[in-house]
Amino acid sequence: MLKPKMKENQKDFRCSKGHNLPVTNIALDPKLSRKQKLLCTECLIDADLDTKVVGLKKIISLTEENQVKKMETVENIIMNQIELIESLHGIVDQMKSFVIQQLNQLITILMD
């Protein structure tokens, strides 16, 4: 199975205050914009937040786990569909053999 990979580079994340420090935490306040949710160590010290703050690594880990679960679900669905198609292919082959057998019997009867 493929391993999910982030499109964004973690080093490119910057806080909205322009501290030019790496983002270390995420504020989970739905009222904040995406950019405002990104917090560096300086923002964390200065911020007066009434919301839960989670480490960036934890968020990345949870996101990756979620993506792995989604990929596993999709993989299971695909595998089930492949099994159904293979089963259908076998049934079609049986029907083909039966039709050929019936036609051969008809040819034999007509020749007699």
Q: Supply the range of the domain harboring residue 86.
A: 10-111
For the chain, the straight-line distance linking the first and the last C-alpha, in angstroms and rounded, comes to 60
Question: Is 91 inside any structural domain?
Answer: yes
The CA distance from 27 to 54, in Å, is: 7
pLDDT-based confidence at 81, cuts 50/70/90?
very high
Question: Is 4 inside any structural domain?
Answer: no
What total number of domains does the chain contain?
1
pLDDT-based confidence at 104, cuts 50/70/90?
very high
Q: Which residues lie closer than 8 Å to 32 by C-beta, 6 or more apart?
A: 51
pTM: 0.65
Question: Is 88 inside any structural domain?
Answer: yes
Question: Is 2 inside any structural domain?
Answer: no
Residue 44 has pLDDT above 90, yes or no: no
Q: Where does 1-112 have alpha helices with state H?
A: 34-37, 41-46, 56-111
Residue 13: its pLDDT value, please? Answer: 81
Question: Is 5 inside any structural domain?
Answer: no
Question: Is 3 inside any structural domain?
Answer: no
pLDDT tens per residue, range 30-42: 888 888 888 888 8
Question: Is 32 inside any structural domain?
Answer: yes
Question: Is 84 inside any structural domain?
Answer: yes
pLDDT tens per residue, range 5-19: 766 777 778 887 888
The CA distance from 112 to 108, in Å, is: 6
Q: What is the CA radius of gyration of the chain?
A: 30
